[in-house]
Amino acid sequence: MRATPPLLLPLLRSNTVGELLAWLYLHPEREYSTTDLAQRTGASQSTVSREADRFTAAGLTRERRHGNLRLIRADTDTIIAKPLTDLLAVTFGPAAVLPPLLQSIPGIDEAYIYGSWAARHANQTGPLPRDVDVLVVGAADEDELYDAARTAERVLGREVNINRISPASWTSDRGDPFVTSLRSKPLHSLIQNRSTP
């Protein structure tokens, strides 16, 4: 079955293509193995490998081999690198920019994007997202979360709002209206179950 073009950027074939390109272009200093990209995007390694073939054939990426590893990075020396990076930042950027920023903060058990960005990523129709809403489950320091949000805003070109709740509130069955509403709508996982061994 053919994938539905993503509402975040219908020019692309799928959300996977958008997320892969976002990881590559929004972290141009890094090389990623196909295994690493598969883990970061939730795609199969064969899908990542197939898309990487397409990216390289189109001149979007460079690759090299290191033993059995196939390492891929954005080719930033092309005429389309800057506009493509800007376009990816405002569409699929949250999926690639927020995880590394949040993973460096202690006390985060789980983190999700919710709201309009998550809805468009889930291909629910609506206006383009104006901001990015993030839910952090855990006891992370508010100042560190604030700093991460401001750093993300500089890259993404839009407001990033981070709301923190306790693990007890997230798992409670007491019917908190905010949690109930979140659970009934699309969530895009950024960090999941980091507190479990």
What residues does each domain of the chain span?
Answer: 15-90, 95-191
Q: Please give the model's pTM, rounded to 2 decimal places.
A: 0.89
Average pLDDT over residues 48-72: 94
Pick the CATH number of 95-191 from 3.30.2080.10, 3.10.20.70, 3.30.460.10, 3.40.50.150: 3.30.460.10
Confidence of residue 195 (pLDDT cuts 50, 70, 90): low
The answer to whether the beta carbons of residues 91 and 18 sit under 8 Å apart is yes
